[in-house]
A and B are shown apart, each in its own frame.
Chain A
Amino acid sequence: MRLAVALFLLVLTLGLIACSEDPNPVGAGLLPTSDFLELDTTSTVALRSYSQTVIPSASTTRLLVGNVDDIESWGVLRFFALPDSVRYMNIVSAEVILRSAYHYGDSLAPFSLTAHKVLRSWGTDSLTIDSLQAAGFYDPAPTSSLYLSSVGDTASISIPVDTTVIRNWGTLSDTTFQNFGILLRPTNSRVVRGFAMFEVSEQPHRPKLLMRFLRAESGKIDTVTLNTGISRFGARIGNTSWSSDSTHIYVRNGISYRGMLEFDISSLPAHAAVHKAELELTLDRTRSRFNGYTVDSTFAVFIGDDGIALSTIFALSEPSEVAGMRVHRFPVGQFVQRWIRGAAQRKIAISGFAEPNALDLFVFHGAAAPSSLKPKLTIVYSLIR
């Protein structure tokens, strides 16, 4: 019996030390060459390029309001968690406080707007400037107006709100809802201002609805502050010549339009493993419009089989100077791998990094540009045997 136990322990010990080990070069010479990776490289230029409008992302950290050149931008915001009791409160005054966080245009120019009661329910995912300006979306009679000779880049502005509008926001019943928020309509002409919205990480910078009301029992003034809600802006540009320019692709934040590129990779074998694919876009500085807020970066976004950009598959550009030109490079290996595996669309959308928060314009040379400036795709691959 003792022998059996001893042998059992021996087996156990041998089993435990029989572990895996790291690979080493001994015997690598036995492997057939087909096992090793053989890298090949191919380059191609965009078959076609164009620009198209899109509805920008629903989530924004800035509400852009103002007019500059041929750009106009309107904003709308709604505060949550308004107590039902506001309908019966003796509200003395109410104001919306916004903190400036961005400008596009003349930063010293006067800024003015009118505030309007919104009459319809709305969501953040599909609202455009057309829907903001549609008849019946808001009450044309302003609840208040604001004129400021200038707004500092980190200044807060206060927009008075008619107390009857606030009282009206109180829930009338379980099925009737009146709090659709307020619309900010710009009346200035030389600047678009951006205000920090509910999504910013710094809580003090978020919009506030400050209400002062008179307590009947004590006769004292008390305040209620709300700082949660949703917002959305819609912008438009008058000049639409970009849409017919085949030599360039236009990537405009905020408004928004994106560049589209189409490639032909039929020369790549079907059983290829893509180890690197890099898209190069050359910026046309003279046509682009940036300012101090611009984030000099763009996204390449994969286009799904239905022609819609898949926001989950993207690549961020890495800009660099090449022979005096600004070049954005995107690692798009995953895109090309999907194309090889039979993706129906072999297109890439180019969008701005700050698409939902700014008005920058990136203009890149397109498929009809001189050959050295065309969008170029370089692919390093190997054959899977």
Chain B
Amino acid sequence: MNKRRCVLAAILSLLWLICSAGFSTASASGSSYSRFGLGDLVRYGSSRLDAMGGTGIALLSDGFINRLNPAGLARISRTRISGGFEYSGYFSSDKQGSGSYRRGTFKGLAFAIPIDKDYGITLLLETSPYSNVNYALQRRDTILTQDFFGTGGLSLLSLGGSVSPLNKLSLGLKLSYLFGRIQQVGRFDFVDPTFLDSEISRSEFHSGFNLTVGAIYEGAGDLLNAPSLSPLTLGFVVSTPTKLSVNRESVLTTKESFDTTATSSGKVDIPLALGFGASYLFASRYYLTADVFHQSWESAKFFGSHPVEIRNNTRVGVGFESLPERETETFWRRVAYRAGFYYNSTYYRINNKPIDEWFVTGGVGVPIGADARINIGLHVGFRGAASDNLQRDTIVRLTLSLSASEAWFIKLEEE
């Protein structure tokens, strides 16, 4: 009965998470940097990994769906579902002053269905955010007030799976459909009432496919004949480059008319992405993780030309997790504790200055049932600088995700 309640609570929470996705698209409340490129790129592995500095390319375990690396699904033993929600606060400042924004966003939903535990065959169905555009800016002078809003972003709809062809090698594959609409609106209110107040809206719908291939190898100790390295796991993930098809439409709206001023189509490059990770489990309870991720945006073209505001993106992070004790009655000992740090050289280069960010992370995994867990992650960090006509963002992100499992599709052994 208690288990059923937990499952019910899990379903209710997930429904709420899905509903809350509306907040992310209806509001324009975030960093001005998301005006550029495809917006803020989202790299979300799960709330567990988020709390560990966003690292986990080499993590292979049963209790979570690893969205950073499909090879990380190979240990899942029960059908698992997880969904996440993020509440973020932006406190931004520049030479002009400061302001704050808040927003809630849906962090996606994932199902992992184990087919064959011996061979690590697990299927994955996943939807995740890929990028977020959210800004609301204003410039006012004696002639007019210009408001700029950006909303939308890209999402991933992925189908994938894992397999373990060798004892200590797991492979994974994920085919993703990237899609989404980015809308940028300029609203122009003239002081002189004889002018037509107007709104120019540019909407771009992106779509395309890419493939992510991952591997996790647990035999580093054997390979190097170093028993001390036997808890070491190495991970690798690569996402293929792709060209997104983009349909662009510009609409001019005044109080007197609604006019589609231009429609066009073009291509936007999503470059090759590479990630390497390592995890080390010591004392059978403590994980240390480290990831490096790189995406070569420097060569990416948007509608045939490379935007000057885009450069290569490199992210380095480290994480720590204290696993819960299973055989204990004490609640706090059944909680997982996580911490981490990451440095992200973002793909933004504004006014010819690189925009970097630093974050410290932390979080807990709280058990809510036999095999269900609410993971809470907190990120606090900075992005950019207030000098050079730029903006400094202090960002606080609170992520919540629910991860639960059921014994669906499991073949019971006959007595």
The interface of chain A, by Cβ under 8 A from chain B, is 1, 3-5, 7-8, 10-12, 14-15, 17-32, 35-37, 39, 271, 273-276, 278, 331, 333-334, 337-338, 341, 380, 384
| B66 in the interface (beta carbon within 8 A) | no
Stretch at the interface among B8-16, B321-329, B337-345: B8-16
Interface majority SS on A: helix, strand, loop or mixed? mixed
Q: Which residues of B contact A276 (CB under 8 A)?
A: 192, 194-196
Which of B100, B135, B198, B374 is the one whose CB lies under 8 Å from A7? Answer: B374
CA distance A276 to B254 in the complex (A): 11
The number of chain B residues touching the other chain, given as a range, is: 35 or more
- Quote the shortest CB–CB distance from B408 to chain A (angstroms): 21
Query: What residue in chain A is nearest B145 (Cβ atoms)?
Result: A23
Q: Which of B20, B102, B137, B374 contacts A31 (CB 8 A)?
A: B137
Chain A contacts of B376 at CB under 8 A? 7
Which of A3, A11, A23, A39 has the largest count of B CB atoms less than 10 A from its CB? A23
Question: 17 pairs across A/B with beta carbons < 8 Å?
Answer: A4-B10, A4-B374, A10-B400, A11-B20, A11-B85, A11-B400, A15-B87, A19-B102, A20-B28, A21-B100, A23-B137, A25-B138, A29-B390, A39-B143, A271-B262, A275-B188, A341-B261
Instruction: Judge whether A35 and B101 touch: CB under 8 Å.
Output: no
Contact A27 B186 (CB under 8 A): no
The 4 closest A-B pairs by CB, nearest first: A27-B32, A20-B27, A18-B104, A23-B136
Tell me whether B366 is interfacial, beta carbon within 8 Å.
yes
Supposing A27-B137, A28-B32, A273-B200 touch, asked if A334 and B254 sit within 8 A by C-beta, the answer is yes
Chain B residues, CB < 8 A from A333 = 196, 254, 256
Among B56-99, those with CB < 8 Å from A are: 85, 87, 92-99
Interface membership of B265, Cβ < 8 A = no
User: Are A30 and B16 neighbours in the complex by a CB distance under 8 Å?
Assistant: no
Cross-chain contact B195 with A8 (CB below 8 angstroms): no
Alpha-carbon distance between A351 and B62 when the two chains are bound, in angstroms: 80
Our pick among A7, A20, A22, A337 for the contact of B26 (Cβ within 8 Å) is: A20
Q: A17-B102, A27-B137 are in contact. Are A5 and B32 (CB under 8 A)?
A: no
Residues of B within 8 A of A8 (CB): 9, 12-13, 16
B94–A18 contact, CB under 8 A? Answer: no
A24 to B5, CA, bound (A): 45
Contacts of A27 in B (CB 8 A): 31-33, 92, 94, 135, 137, 391
Docked-complex contact A3 and B368, CB < 8 angstroms? yes
Which residue from chain A places its CB closest to the CB of B12 in the assembled complex? A8
Interface centre among B27, B252, B350, by most chain A C-beta atoms within 10 angstroms, is B252
Q: How far is the CB of B334 from chain A (nearest CB, A)?
A: 11
Give bound CA distance, A30 to B350, whole Å: 7
Residue of B2, B29, B351 contacting most chain A CB atoms (<10 Å)? B29
CB distance from B340 to the nearest CB of A (A): 22
Residue among A5, A26, A274 making CB contact with B196, cutoff 8 Å:
A274
**Known contacts A11-B400, A14-B398, A30-B350: A21-B29 contact under CB 8 Å:** yes
A334 partner residues in chain B, CB cutoff 8 A: 196, 254, 256-257
Query: Is A384 in contact with B200, judged by CB distance below 8 angstroms?
Result: yes
Contact of B104 among A15, A26, A331 (CB under 8 A): A15
Q: Which residues of A contact B389 (CB under 8 A)?
A: 29-30
Tell me whether A7 and B13 are in contact in the complex, defined as CB-CB below 8 angstroms, given that A19-B102, A30-B390 are known contacts. yes
**Does residue B315 face the partner (Cβ distance < 8 Å to A)?**
no
Q: Tell me if B133 counts as interface (CB < 8 A to partner A).
A: no
- Do A337 and B259 form a contact, CB below 8 Å, given A7-B374, A30-B32, A273-B200? yes
From residue A278, how far is it (CB to closest CB) to chain B in Å? 7
Name the residue among A22, A275, A276, A331 with the largest chain B CB count within 10 angstroms: A275
Give CA–CA (A26, B138) in the complex, Å.
Answer: 8
A17: min CB distance to chain B, Å? 7
User: Is B174 positioned at the interface, with any CB of A under 8 Å from its CB?
Assistant: no
Taking A18-B104, A23-B28, A23-B136 as given, write out 13 further A-B residue pairs in contact, using a Cβ cutoff of 8 Å, ordered by the A residue number: A4-B9, A4-B10, A11-B85, A15-B85, A15-B104, A18-B27, A21-B100, A23-B147, A30-B35, A275-B188, A333-B196, A334-B196, A337-B259
B250 contacts chain A at the CB level, 8 A cutoff: yes
Q: In the complex, what distance in Å separates the CA atom of A20 from the CA atom of B146?
A: 18
| Residues A331 and B194 in contact, CB atoms below 8 Å apart | yes
Q: Nearest residue in A to B188 (C-beta to C-beta)?
A: A37
What chain A residues lie within 8 Å of B28 (beta carbons)?
20, 23
Q: Is the CB of B148 within 8 A of A23?
A: yes
Residues of B within 8 A of A30 (CB): 32-33, 35, 350-351, 389-391
Given contacts A18-B87, A31-B148, A384-B262, contact A24 B137 (CB under 8 A): yes
Judge if B149 is at the interface, Cβ distance under 8 Å.
yes
The reply to whether A275 and B138 form a contact with Cβ atoms under 8 Å apart is no
In the complex, the answer to whether B400 meets A25 with C-beta atoms within 8 Å is: no
A273-B391 in contact given A11-B17, A18-B104 (Cβ < 8 Å): no
Check if B137 sits within 8 Å of A4, measured CB to CB: no
Instruction: Answer yes or no: B411 CB below 8 A from chain A CBs.
Output: no
Partner of B190, one of A1, A10, A275: A275
Q: Does B306 contact A (CB under 8 A)?
A: no
With both beta carbons as reference points, the residue of chain A lying nearest to B2 in the complex is identified as A1
Q: How far is the CA of A84 from the CA of B294 in the complex (A)?
A: 92
Question: How long is the Cα–Cα vector from A271 to B194 in the complex, in angstroms?
Answer: 22
Please name all residues of chain A whose beta carbon is closer than 8 Å to the beta carbon of B374 when the two chains form the complex.
3-4, 7
Q: A11-B13, A334-B254 are in contact. Are A26 and B35 (CB under 8 A)?
A: no
**B6 touches A (CB below 8 Å):** yes
In the complex, A10 Cα to B400 Cα: how many Å?
10
Is residue B140 contacting chain A, with contact meaning CB distance below 8 A?
yes
Interface residues of B in 98-112 (CB under 8 A from A): 98-104
Is A24 a contact of B99 with CB atoms below 8 Å? Answer: yes
Which chain A residue lies CB-closest to B10? A4
Q: List the A side residues contacting B147 at CB < 8 Å.
A: 23
Write the nearest CB–CB distance from B11 to chain A, whole angstroms: 11
Check B144 for interface membership: any CB of A closer than 8 A.
yes
Bound: A25/B31 CA distance, A? 12
- Complex-state Cα separation, A270 to B289, whole angstroms: 56
